[in-house]
Amino acid sequence: MRRVWSDPVQQRKLATIEDVAAMAGVSIATVSRAINEPTKVADATRRKVAEAVARTGYTTNAMARSLRMRRSNMILILAPDVGDPNFSNILVGLETEASKRGYGLLIGNTQNDPSRETDYLRFISSNQADGLILFTGHLPFGFGQDRGETRLPPMVAVNEPVLGQDIPFVGVDNFEGARIAAEHLIAQGHRRIAFIGHSTSREINRLREAGYRAALEGAGIAIDPRLILDGDGTTESGRAAAELMFVRDALPTAFLCVNDATALGVIIALNARRYELPRQFSVMGFDDISFASFVSPSLTTMKQPRLRIGEAAMELLLAMLAGEQPKSREVLLRAELIVRNSVSRPGGSD
């Protein structure tokens, strides 16, 4: 049995820049330059160094480098729920872009727990991360509020904007997306369209509801407040909202839901009541999360360009780290209408 892992302590000392310098017969400064600024070094020297690097297997010690340069080439990702499907796909985009530029990703799962948010701040304040991607929709607890004039580190909000803090945001155009969704329903002939929102993430909800209202007004349809319900964004709350509609007297012909999870709940409620979908009721979601195509009927929804959101956010953050002024404080990407089978013309309702 080879006990490969049993000794956690690095045994064979790693080669340092000094070993390389000795082998190449130059000073450590020259080695450093040969590696980092090759043009500043004579060709012959550069070759000698390159060979010594290869023979020693030298890798520059990231800790020493970071200590000296005061930057770690790490980005901290702060998210309330790492398991959220919406998160993980954006993460792929973030990672792609970051690793392309030599940055690493450090992930922090806060579960909306203030103490965990504070906890992760140490990565920032100890220089272990140069910048921050925020999924949480608010500044980490312990920032800004306590010390009056704390400088905020470079950061970009994603998924949900941070209100009142002048923090660059990259995300989907929620207003426009919801308007397109509602217009799709209207184009199918629906006039009585419900909106099931969720107050949990206020800003997203506000924008999507605004898009819904804009579409209806644009089509000359009066807003019926009885058709606007509020949930918390979960499947269960969608189900409950649909049930509530039946208890009241006012029924819609179509449900526009603030997100796919809610839409799923609505579908479950309608299926349970033995309605035939989409003939009797149309349902639309927003997000296009993975199960959207597997529900029955498969869900017509607005697709968030998650990969591109991640890439764009990271690109923006890295540009900020490089000292560039971002062109705009908000990058909005268009949501794409995905037509599946949960929407049709209003027909034999009841």
Partner DNA sequence: ATCTCCGATGTAAAGGTTTACACAAGGGCA
Partner DNA sequence: TGCCCTTGTGTAAACCTTTACATCGGAGAT
Ranges within 22-61 binding a copy of itself (CB under 8 A) = 57, 59-61
- Show Cβ contacts of residue 58 under 8 Å, excluding neighbours closer than 6 positions: 14, 15, 16, 17, 19, 20, 52
Q: Is 128 in the site for DNA (CB under 7 A)?
A: no
Size of the site for a copy of itself (CB under 8 A): 74
Of residues 24 and 155, the one with the C-beta less far from a copy of itself: 155
Q: Is 115 in the site for a copy of itself (CB under 8 A)?
A: no
- Using CA atoms, how far apart are residues 201 and 317, in angstroms rounded to an integer? 23
At 169, give phi and psi (nearest 5°).
Answer: -130, 140
Shortest Å, Cβ 69 to DNA:
5
- Interface residue with DNA among 22, 50, 60, 275 (CB under 7 A) is 60
Tokens (6 digits) for 32 = 């450093």
Q: Is 168 in the site for a copy of itself (CB under 8 A)?
A: yes
Shortest Å, Cβ 76 to a copy of itself:
9
At what angle are helices 43-56 and 28-36 packed, to 10 degrees? Answer: 100
What residues between 62 and 81 interact with a copy of itself by CB under 8 A? 62-64, 66-67, 70, 72, 74, 81
- Interface residue with DNA among 3, 12, 13, 151 (CB under 7 A) is 13
Q: Is 8 in the site for a copy of itself (CB under 8 A)?
A: yes
Strand-pair category, 336-338 with 301-303: antiparallel
- Using CA atoms, how far apart are residues 24 and 9, in angstroms rounded to an integer? 29
Which window, 22-30, 131-139, 244-252, 297-305, contacts DNA (CB under 7 A)?
22-30
Which window, 4-12, 35-43, 244-252, 341-349, contacts a copy of itself (CB under 8 A)?
4-12
- Long-range (24+ apart) CB contacts under 8 A made by 266-274 are 266/196, 266/238, 266/239, 266/241, 266/242, 267/295, 267/296, 267/297, 267/299, 267/342, 268/235, 268/238, 268/239, 269/238, 269/239, 269/242, 269/243, 270/242, 271/296, 273/246
- Taking alpha carbons only, the member of 206, 325, 302, 220 closest to residue 256 is 302
Amino acid code (one letter) for 94: L
- Interface residue with DNA among 65, 206, 279, 334 (CB under 7 A) is 65
Q: List % helix, strand, coil for the chain (3-state, nearest 5).
A: 45, 15, 40
Quick one: which H or E segment has residue 341? none
Q: Is 187 in the site for a copy of itself (CB under 8 A)?
A: no
Of residues 10 and 39, the one with the C-beta less far from a copy of itself: 10
- Taking alpha carbons only, the member of 209, 213, 249, 248 closest to residue 231 is 209
Of residues 188 and 234, the one with the C-beta less far from a copy of itself: 234
Residue 97 Cα distances to 91, 100, 160, angstroms:
10, 5, 20
**Which neighbouring-strand residues pair with 333?**
172
Of residues 56 and 200, the one with the C-beta less far from DNA: 56
Which window, 56-64, 101-109, 201-209, 215-223, contacts DNA (CB under 7 A)?
56-64
Q: Which does 32 bind (CB under 5 to 8 A by kind): a copy of itself, DNA, none?
A: DNA
Q: Is 188 in the site for DNA (CB under 7 A)?
A: no
Q: Is 14 in the site for a copy of itself (CB under 8 A)?
A: yes
Q: Is 250 in the site for a copy of itself (CB under 8 A)?
A: no
Q: Is 151 in the site for DNA (CB under 7 A)?
A: no
Buried b (16+ CB within 10 A) or exposed e, 62-87: eeeebeeeeebbbbbbbbbeeeeebb
Q: Which does 279 bind (CB under 5 to 8 A by kind): DNA, a copy of itself, none?
A: none
What residues between 95 and 114 interact with a copy of itself by CB under 8 A? 95-96, 99, 104-109
Of residues 122 and 329, the one with the C-beta less far from DNA: 122
Q: Is 136 helix (H, G, I), strand (E, B) or coil?
A: coil
> Which residues here bind DNA, judged by CB under 7 A?
13-14, 16-18, 25-30, 32-33, 35-36, 40-42, 44-45, 58-61, 64-65, 67-70
